[in-house]
Amino acid sequence: MFMILILTSMFILISNILMILSMMISKKSNLDREKCSPFECGFDPKSSARNPFSLHFFLITVIFLIFDVEIALIFPMIKTFKLVNIFIWMKISIFFILILLLGLYHEWNQNMLNWSN
């Protein structure tokens, strides 16, 4: 047990020494002007790269991803229809679709499905 502790501490010590040594030797500069500027095919950008992003577009994208994952979860339910007990399958399917409909109603009630404000 003591030998394992000694080996573990040696491995941690050697790895830390190597990490510190590699950070000291590396030529990497974090404050390089060229690395901090945006890249547009080798040309200087025409406008600022830090333009505000539409939050509404982002929320619609998240809603799309959620429903895309839900469809991926429904497909195996269709394949297992003949393999499992019909009553258990119906309970699980109705519960899952009820959760989806409640989520859809909540998004509709919050006006998240409307593109324009």
Convert the pLDDT of each residue in 1-55 to its tens digit: 889 999 999 999 999 999 999 888 876 666 666 666 666 566 666 666 666 777 7
pLDDT value for 66: 80
Assess whether pLDDT exceeds 60 at residue 117.
Answer: no
Question: Would the pLDDT of 99 be above 80?
Answer: yes
Residue 37 to residue 39: CA distance in whole angstroms: 7
Please report which helix (H) or strand (E) contains residue 14, including its range: helix 2-25
Q: What is the pTM of this model?
A: 0.47
12: its two tokens: 């941690």
- What is the DSSP track for the chain? -HHHHHHHHHHHHHHHHHHHHHHHH----TT-HHHHS--BTTBPPSS-S-PPPPHHHHHHHHHHHHHHHHHHHHHHHHHTTTTS-HHHHHHHHHHHHHHHHHHHHHHHHTT-S-S--
Structure tokens given for 8: 């573990």
44-89 pLDDT per residue, tens: 666 666 667 777 777 778 888 887 888 888 888 888 888 888 898 8
